[in-house]
Amino acid sequence: MEVVIKDNYQEISQLAANYLFDTVKKKNDAVLGLPTGSTPLGMYQIIIDKYKDNCSFQNVRTFNLDEYVGLDKTNKCSYCYYMENILFSHIDIKEENIYIPNGVAENMEEECRYYENLIRSRGPMDILFLGIGPNGHIGFNEPNYYFEPYTHVVKLTDNTIAANSRFFDSIESVPKTAITMGMKTILSAKKIVMLATGHNKAEAIAKSIKGKVTPQVPGSVLQLHNNVTLIIDKDAAKYL
Ligand code: GLP
């Protein structure tokens, strides 16, 4: 695993955006895997500001990692809303090329199978960007006793609900379940770029990179992939 330690958030965001631009420059119909959260915000801003000088998203397809169950696209806390506002409405991507798990599907089991099959038939993802939760979760794959391979519904841990409550009016309004790509889905991407900043990610980063591969530390699964770049700041790197 390649580990790049940068001095500041701007440099992390720039390098991540460069990976994305390079991928789309080489392949104008690239398939991208995209995350949410606060960490990729800087990368998305650079993409909005600079994409016209670098590439077009006309033929690009995107798959988001995850979504809260029960929140639809009009809900400001849904990842669908986030993606539209933070990125998609500012670039020339076609609506029909955007895929995000449907958190309000009538039958969630069916939605999981549908989403997994979409990734399989339209993919593989050429590049997948990831953040990491303070407990080591990737996408919404929480610490568990086994690896969930494919897209599935997951019960969020108290740790994740607390960490993500800053985006909601109250901790009670954070959904208790989510739909997420599974571990094999994530590992099926040709290239993975993980971003992390801050002291509160340091333990998760150290365990993911140097610890044993275990479903108790979901990020550790990245050790099984042969093309991962981790872009982090000094705070997140402090136990490496
Ligand atoms: C959420 C998302 C993850 C993301 C994590 C970290 O739980 N489901 O995909 O990696 O948050 O978010 P942040 O970047 O805000 O720390």
Distance 132 CA to ligand 1 centre (A): 6
Contact 22, 11 (CB under 8 A): no
> Annotated catalytic sites, by residue?
66, 135, 137, 142
Distance 37 CA to ligand 1 centre (A): 4
The fold for domain 2-230 equals: Rossmann fold (3.40.50)
Give, using CA atoms, the residue closest to atom 5 of ligand 1.
Answer: 133
pLDDT of residue 96: 97
Q: Taking CB atoms and a 6 Å cutoff, what residues make up the pocket around ligand 1? A: 35-39, 65-66, 131-133, 139-140, 160, 164
How far is residue 201's CA from residue 188's CA, in Å, rounded to a whole number? 24
Instruction: Enumerate the domain spans of the chain.
Output: 2-230
Single-letter amino acid code for the residue at 177 = T
Mean pLDDT by 10 residues, the chain (240 residues): 97 98 97 97 98 95 98 96 98 98 97 98 96 96 96 95 93 96 98 98 98 98 98 97
Supply φ then ψ for residue 196, to 5 degrees: -155, 140
Residues paired with residue 195 on neighbouring β-strands, in sequence order: 231
Give me the DSSP letters along 160-180: HHHHHGGGSSSGGGS-SEEEE
Residues paired with residue 2 on neighbouring β-strands, in sequence order: 229
Give, using CA atoms, the residue closest to atom 12 of ligand 1.
Answer: 37
pLDDT of residue 225: 98
Supply φ then ψ for residue 175, to 5 degrees: -55, 150
pLDDT of residue 142: 95
